[in-house]
């Protein structure tokens, strides 16, 4: 099945094509037809299953097809409520990505920052609002937000809302939106409190349940290096220059970070390219093509841009920045070790990322081996409970394995990272 077969309109299909999306995930395949028919939906699915696109695409399509043909001021027609700032930003980025050619505008509001930039965006008018509960209620009380025109309401990560004590806030929000609306309710689990809440939000919903995939790829050899933020560039260069590798995918949490890594590697003679949302479609496609055919051995990507990447014989994944969403880690490392091949995933972890590492280990149900003896180890306090330790000498197994794989491929290019400049 393709997105075109799901009756997605051309402007959205074009945006999906830009980032390499061709086949919908199971939750997208099941949910999009239901939502295009205007029905309520109760979805049981974890982050990382593709559920954002499952609800974002139909909402954008509805708004595009029903858009006013005059120049009336934009009013908020769709509201997506999610528990955390990180998820809110990610969802808003996805709406921007999928709605690129539709003219549909969105913005995001969340707490912990000054509200000035957010209120300015609201004054200009938006079609879609992504929000965390606290900041949403605050801006409603101040008169910046009206929910009287809402036609589409999404409650995402409902079980996390419950855990974080947001249920009362959610009830306040629901009381302010029109009764006549299309409602979507997503939760990874369905405890009784969540079931009861869904009954108050939804009418007679269709139900879609996506069973979580295996937490992590068994064939992926994982390790983590504790390193300060300022020493990450040195460690990256050290690892890339230590052995021959055929293809390396490096993940950065931000677009700016991806560009910075390219500049760092360029200074030491390592050819690399970056793909992210600020790159043009042509630039992204060219970078990906160069990576697939072996002209570029190192590709740096943000998570959104990387979703369209499918590269055979990917030797190594490096998490330069640990993701703040645990399921994202699983998706990242799953890009190596596919089919019958084995794969290697290395992660860098600074002090600010320790909480992310704990969450990842909790999700995958295992301790990731820690490389303690490496040239850029600092005095960081490693307070993870009983980490599996790996000596730096033994950690060279990853590079040896890569070397063996490359030697065994008679027609595969062997790329040796050598420093062309001395600093």
On average, the pLDDT of the chain sits at 82
Tokens of 20: 């390499």
* 22 to 34, 85, 199, 250, 288: CA distances (angstroms): 20, 29, 35, 23, 16
Say which range, 2-11, 98-107, 264-273, 410-419, has the weakest mean pLDDT: 410-419
Vertex 318: Cα angle to 316 and 324 (nearest 5): 140
- Where does the pLDDT of residue 415 fall: very low under 50, low under 70, confident under 90, or very high at 90 and above? very low
Indicate whether 148 pLDDT > 90.
yes
DSSP state of 348: E
Q: Could you give all domains of the chain from N- to C-terminal order, each with its CATH number?
A: 4-209 (3.40.50.300), 220-407 (3.40.50.300)
Whole-prediction pTM: 0.62
In DSSP terms, which residues pair with 207 in a beta bridge? 42
Indicate whether 307 pLDDT > 70.
no
- pLDDT: which is higher, 264 or 335: 264
Cβ neighbour number for residue 295 with a 10 Å cutoff: 13
Cβ neighbour number for residue 365 with a 10 Å cutoff: 8
Per-residue model confidence (pLDDT) at position 411: 35
DSSP string, 60-128: HHHHHHT--SS-PPP---EEEE-SSHHHHHHHHHHHHHHTTTT---EEEE-SSS-SHHHHHHHHH--SE
Indicate whether 48 pLDDT > 80.
no
- pLDDT: which is higher, 307 or 142: 142
- Provide the edge-to-edge strand list for the sheet that holds 316-319: 272-275, 298-301, 248-251, 316-319, 343-349, 220-226, 370-371, 389-390
Q: What is the dihedral of CA 311, 317, 322, 324, to 10 degrees?
A: 30
Per-residue model confidence (pLDDT) at position 99: 95
Give per-residue pLDDT as tens, 180-222: 999 999 987 777 878 888 888 888 899 998 876 555 556 688 9
Indicate whether 417 pLDDT > 70.
no
Q: Which residue has the tokens 């309710």?
A: 185
Per-residue model confidence (pLDDT) at position 217: 55
Q: Which among 130, 129, 180, 187 has a CA at the least distance from the CA of 158?
A: 187
Q: At 318, phi and psi to the nearest 5?
A: -120, 120
Per-residue model confidence (pLDDT) at position 102: 94
Helices (H), ranges, 145-301: 158-163, 167-174, 192-201, 232-242, 255-267, 281-292
- Using CA atoms, how far apart are residues 277 and 262, in angstroms rounded to an integer? 16
- Using CA atoms, how far apart are residues 239 and 392, in angstroms rounded to an integer? 11
- Using CA atoms, how far apart are residues 192 and 190, in angstroms rounded to an integer? 6
Q: Which residue has the tokens 């320790």?
A: 354
């Amino acid at each position: 099945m393709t997105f075109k077969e799901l009756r997605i309109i051309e402007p959205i299909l074009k945006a999906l094509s830009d980032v390499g999306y061709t086949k919908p995930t199971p939750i997208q395949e099941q949910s999009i037809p239901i939502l295009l028919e205007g029905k309520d939906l109760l979805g049981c699915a974890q982050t990382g299953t593709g559920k954002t696109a499952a609800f974002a695409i139909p909402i954008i399509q509805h708004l595009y097809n029903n858009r006013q043909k005059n120049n009336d001021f934009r009013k908020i027609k769709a509201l997506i409520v999610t528990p955390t700032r990180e998820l809110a930003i990610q969802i808003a980025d996805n709406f921007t990505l999928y709605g690129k050619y539709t003219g549909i505008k969105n913005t995001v509001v969340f707490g912990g920052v000054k509200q000035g930039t957010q209120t300015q965006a609201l004054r200009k008018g938006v079609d879609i609002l992504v929000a965390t509960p606290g900041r949403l209620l605050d801006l409603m009380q101040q008169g910046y937000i009206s929910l009287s025109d809402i036609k589409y309401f999404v409650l995402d990560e409902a079980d996390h809302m419950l855990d974080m004590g947001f249920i009362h806030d959610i009830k306040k929000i629901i009381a302010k939106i029109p009764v006549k609306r299309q409602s979507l309710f997503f939760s990874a689990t369905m405890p009784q409190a969540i079931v009861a809440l869904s009954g108050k939000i939804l009418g007679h919903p269709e139900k879609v349940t996506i069973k979580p995939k295996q937490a992590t790829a068994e064939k992926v050899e994982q390790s983590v290096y504790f390193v300060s933020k300022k020493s990450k560039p040195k460690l990256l260069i050290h690892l890339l220059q230590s052995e021959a590798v055929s293809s390396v995918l490096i993940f950065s949490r931000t677009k700016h970070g991806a560009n910075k890594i390219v500049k760092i590697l360029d200074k030491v003679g390592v050819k690399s390219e970056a793909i992210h949302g600020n790159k043009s479609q042509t630039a992204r496609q060219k970078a990906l093509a160069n990576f697939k055919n072996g002209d570029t051995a190192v590709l740096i990507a943000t998570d959104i841009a990387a979703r369209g990447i499918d590269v055979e014989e990917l030797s190594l994944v490096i998490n330069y920045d640990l993701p703040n969403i645990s399921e994202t880690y699983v998706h990242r490392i799953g890009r190596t070790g596919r089919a019958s091949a084995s794969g290697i995933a290395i992660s860098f972890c600074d002090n600010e990322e320790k909480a992310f590492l704990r969450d990842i280990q909790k999700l995958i149900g295992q301790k990731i081996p820690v490389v303690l003896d490496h040239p850029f180890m600092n005095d960081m306090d490693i307070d993870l409970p009983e980490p599996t330790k790996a000596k730096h000498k033994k950690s060279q197994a990853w590079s040896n394995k890569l070397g063996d794989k490359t030697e065994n491929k008679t027609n595969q290019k062997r790329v040796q990272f050598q420093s062309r400049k001395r600093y």
